[in-house]
Amino acid sequence: MSLLSIGILLGSLPVGSSQFPRACANSDSLLRKECCPPWPGDGSPCGELSGRGSCKDIILSDAPLGPQFPFSGVDDREDWPVVFYNRTCQCSGNFMGFNCGGCKFNFVGPNCTEKRLQVRRDIFRLSAREKYQFLAYLNLAKHTTSRDFVIATGTYAQMNNGSNPMFQSINMYDLFVWMHYYVSRDTLLGGTDVWRDIDFAHEAPGFLPWHRVFLLMWEHEIQKITGNENFTIPYWDWRDAQDCDICTDEYMGGRHPSNPNLLSPASFFASWQVICSKSEEYNSRQELCNGTSEGPILRNPGNHDKGRTPRLPSSADVEFCLSLTQYEAGTMDKMANFSFRNTLEGFANPSTAISNLSQSSLHNALHIYMNGSMSQVQGSANDPIFILHHAFVDSIFEQWLRRHQPLREVYPAANAPIGHNREYYMVPFIPLYRNGEFFVPSRELGYDYEYLINPGNYIYDFSTLSFPGVSS
């Protein structure tokens, strides 16, 4: 195979998008502040010669931020991504990716001209073969070095403003664990000082769009490494669950017979190591999580504080939450009352929508209930239950969008906590995505949920992906 044809082959894969593109993780890119890698298909930056995109200055929104973060110029994530790069690829048409080598989420094909719709399914409705394939794919991701992306192991200042790059390769699963850590980590203020009341993906309106694009990218990276373009992540419908019914060795892992905090030795995930679980250690060293293994996945479902989370969420909780008409409200943080986002996230009472920080409900309830790796925000994606859980949370977001049909303007444009305004670029993704771009029905992003397609009737031919009578 010639180099050119390899390039075309690689360039035509669906390119997901995430942390630092390997091609930009060097001092030349950092000092020029430019991340516009060549598209291998034609060798030009951003595939410009083929009309895929071009290298452009990043224009930031100047909408005011909320008062929650009283600093500026102290955190690399402020005004993402301009601390690192002020020029990136801007792709045209249906092209997407850090070098415009891929397609938008709802298109496939060498020129991104074929529309597609994929369906995420209930994990309990997968065949034995499909379920085994899902678990095997996760294991493959955990053992496959990410080709396109690396993690930063130092802050911009620790990199001497770019002249001393600090990046490291990481496996594809852990790349996503690290991104979830990086977006939610504390601000390092120097000495031993940190600022904890900051989170670019939680406790504010961006919670739902951020996790939506995060899962889409994760799904697409798995499609890439497995060569299965039809793979979709399953969801766990936890409404009215009495216990963790996916916590068996057949699914996400049973309990260890002698240590209730560990997974059963027969589980798919018993040998997995976690990363980014020691936030206090990183804070005291004023360093970033560098991806070092830190021990096994911890999980002890049901051993949590019952005063905080008396039970798993009910159908009635979800239904109440869906009836809330305001997406966001008031302070737009975890104190917000009558906010759909804050109620679904779980900081507000699921029958009154009044904020109550001594309770963890809906989304938060599942994290607390797992009483282990899932329960610390920064390291929660270490447990693959995270994927199933967040897919279901996203489906509730999707139900709300369908029921209330909000204009994009309903998503707050200004005064949200840092990172969460409508036009803010979401940390830590390159290429760039704005929060508001994911405040749209999932079909516009190329996917749907099995149980939302035609409630009450699950008989579909998933091999054809055609759903008569459903308009898109």
- Which stretches of the chain bind ligand NAG, using CB under 6 A? 33, 50, 57, 86, 110-111, 153, 160-161, 228-230, 281, 290, 292, 303-305, 307, 330-331, 335, 337, 354-356, 358-359, 371-372, 375, 463-465
Q: 265 - beta bridge partners?
A: none
Tell me whether residue 67 or residue 110 sits nearer to ligand NAG (CB atom): 110
Between 284 and 403, name the residue whose CB sits nearer to ligand NAG.
284
In angstroms, what is the minimal distance from the CB of 312 to ligand NAG? 15
Q: What is the CA radius of gyration of the chain?
A: 21
Closest separation in Å from C-beta 208 to ligand NAG:
20
Signed CA dihedral, 210, 213, 217, 219: sign only: positive
Please check whether residue 315 is in contact with residue 239, taking contact to mean a CB–CB distance below 8 angstroms.
Answer: yes
Question: What is the enclosing helix (H) or strand (E) of 36?
Answer: none
Quote the DSSP letter at residue 35.
E
At its nearest, how many Å lie between ligand NAG and the CB of residue 408?
Answer: 25
Q: Which is nearer to ligand NAG, 88 or 421 (CB)?
A: 88
Least distance between ligand NAG and beta carbon 349 (Å): 6
Rounded CA-CA distance 237/245 in Å is 10
CB of 310 to ligand NAG, least distance (A): 9
Q: What phi, psi does 340 have (nearest 5°)? A: -55, -45
**Closest separation in Å from C-beta 161 to ligand NAG:** 4
260 vs 440 by CB, closer to ligand NAG: 260
Nearer to ligand NAG, 15 or 237 (CB): 15
Looking at beta carbons only, is 311 or 403 nearer to ligand NAG?
311
Tell me if 388 sits within 8 A of 374, measured CB to CB.
Answer: no
DSSP 172-239: HHHHHHHHHHHHHPPEEEETTEEE-S--SSSSSTTHHHHHHHHHHHHHHHHHHHHT-TT----B---T
Strand (E) or helix (H) holding 207: helix 207-226
Residue 264 CB burial class (10 angstroms; 0-12, 13-18, ≥19): middle
Q: Closer to ligand NAG by CB, 72 or 160: give it.
A: 160
Q: How far is the CB of 283 from ligand NAG (least distance, A)?
A: 11
Cβ 42 to ligand NAG shortest distance, Å: 10
User: Which is closer to ligand NAG, CB of 191 or CB of 455?
Assistant: 191
| DSSP code per residue over 23-73 | GG-SHHHHHHTEE-PBPTTTSSBTTGGGTSEEEEE-----PPPPTT---SS
